[in-house]
Amino acid sequence: MRTRSLVRLVAATCALALIAAACGEDGGTGGDGERAIVRFAFSPDPVIDWMNDQGIIPEYEEQYNVRLVTTSTWDEFTFFAGGHGDIVSMATYETPLLEQETGVDTVTFGSYNNLRVPVFVRSDSDYETFEDLQGTKVAVPSAVSSTIVWGMFIKDWYGLDFCIERPDGSDCADYEVIEGDHFANMELLVRGDIEACVCIPEAGFPYWRTGEIRALYEPTPSPWEIYADMYADGHKGLNGNNFVARKDWFESHPNEVAFFLALWERGIQEWFENKEEIIRTYPQHFAVEDDEDVDFAVQFMEEHDFFTDTVYLDEEWIENETAVYDLMKQTGWMDADAEVPEFQVVEPSEPEE
């Protein structure tokens, strides 16, 4: 498993956790009396803004007698590894890394977003596949995240190594992989400083619309679409955002779990009922400003919507989703003897009396 960078990452976040603890961070009642608190780390998201502005979150907090405390971060992995949250949004393919590096047992109990991160190249380039990019400079958002998924695809399809470094610390010689922010990486691509970037589509909407860039593997450029087509017979998964909790917390907080799932099920319903309005109300979440770019974002979400149909898991979905671990093991992105993280079906339930 490619974990050398992750060891350094987790060591740093554990140090931050100690500092935070010294400064009085805790998961107690937070001045709300007997009302329980759920600490949740999440990347910036339009649905949570919508639910806040529509008064939906307080409605569910009152119903379940729970208060939701959120931390907005693009690096949920680091936040959770540092011990700062009860629930985190985390990818299916990242959870084994977290468990291995921290020794924390987790439970994945909810579904939210499929992995949506395509590979972009300039439109005037001749690249048609990732194999054509061999030897070139490619930017990625981190050592984990979507790098893992494209890394296992590339190993499976072409026998090439796509990573920042191998387990022994040596360079991955097949590509020159650099790490940076999605939006900064997109600027590097447009300027010609790199040949490709693994970037969220939002980072590319303005350039994609004007034809300056294009995505490889059209017409299904997102990893979740590729996984559904090639590996999982239409399964809508390969999630970049699941709801994951420490196992001990999950088992001891059934009402909080029920609250959290009920709230986000409502959020998904709101998304599908008000998708265009949400995009136009919070265009900043899609990195668009001009009307034409907003229209492009709306059209993209109509054709490639990466929101899951429901937050609640079932056994068939779990079986198809966890099959990705076999592919990770086959391609060296997960130790052959590593345990598969736990996924749990939770049925909808009313608040505790």
pLDDT digit string (tens) for 192-211? 999 999 999 999 999 999 99
pTM to 2 decimal places: 0.85
| pLDDT beyond 50 at 12 | no
Domain count, the chain: 2
pLDDT of residue 88: 86
Indicate if 8 and 109 belong to the same structural domain: yes
SS3 for 273-289 is: HHHHHHHHHCHHHHCCC
**Would you state the structure tokens that stand for residue 318, as one six-digit string?**
């779990």
Write the CB contacts of 319 (distance below 8 Å, at least 6 apart in sequence): none
In a domain, 49, yes or no: yes
283 cis-preceded (ω within 30 degrees of 0): no
In a domain, 337, yes or no: yes
Q: What is the largest CA-CA distance in the chain?
A: 63
| Residues 64, 70, 76, 79, CA torsion sign | negative
pLDDT of residue 83: 64
Average pLDDT, the chain: 87
Indicate if 133 and 92 belong to the same structural domain: no
Task: Give 3-state DSSP helix, strand, coil % of the chain, rounded to 5.
Answer: 45, 15, 40
Indicate if 74 and 14 belong to the same structural domain: yes
The rounded distance, in Å, linking the Cα atoms of 342 and 319 is 11
pLDDT of 99-117, one tens digit each?
887 888 999 999 999 999 9
Task: Give the residue, 290 or 76, on which the prediction is more confident.
Answer: 290
Question: Given the DSSP bridges, would you call strands 36-42 and 196-198 parallel, antiparallel or unpaired?
Answer: unpaired
Categorize the per-residue pLDDT at 80 as very low, low, confident or very high, splitting at 50, 70 and 90: low
In a domain, 41, yes or no: yes
Categorize the per-residue pLDDT at 166 as very low, low, confident or very high, splitting at 50, 70 and 90: low
In a domain, 51, yes or no: yes
In a domain, 349, yes or no: no
* CATH code for the domain in which residue 241 is found: 3.40.190.10
Give the number of other Cβ atoms within 10 Å of residue 168's Cβ: 6
Cβ atoms of 146 and 198 within 8 Å: the answer is: yes
In a domain, 282, yes or no: yes
Categorize the per-residue pLDDT at 10 as very low, low, confident or very high, splitting at 50, 70 and 90: very low
Q: Domain of 196?
A: 119-221
Which of 191, 221, 251 delimits the end of a domain?
A: 221
pLDDT of residue 42: 80
pLDDT of residue 21: 31
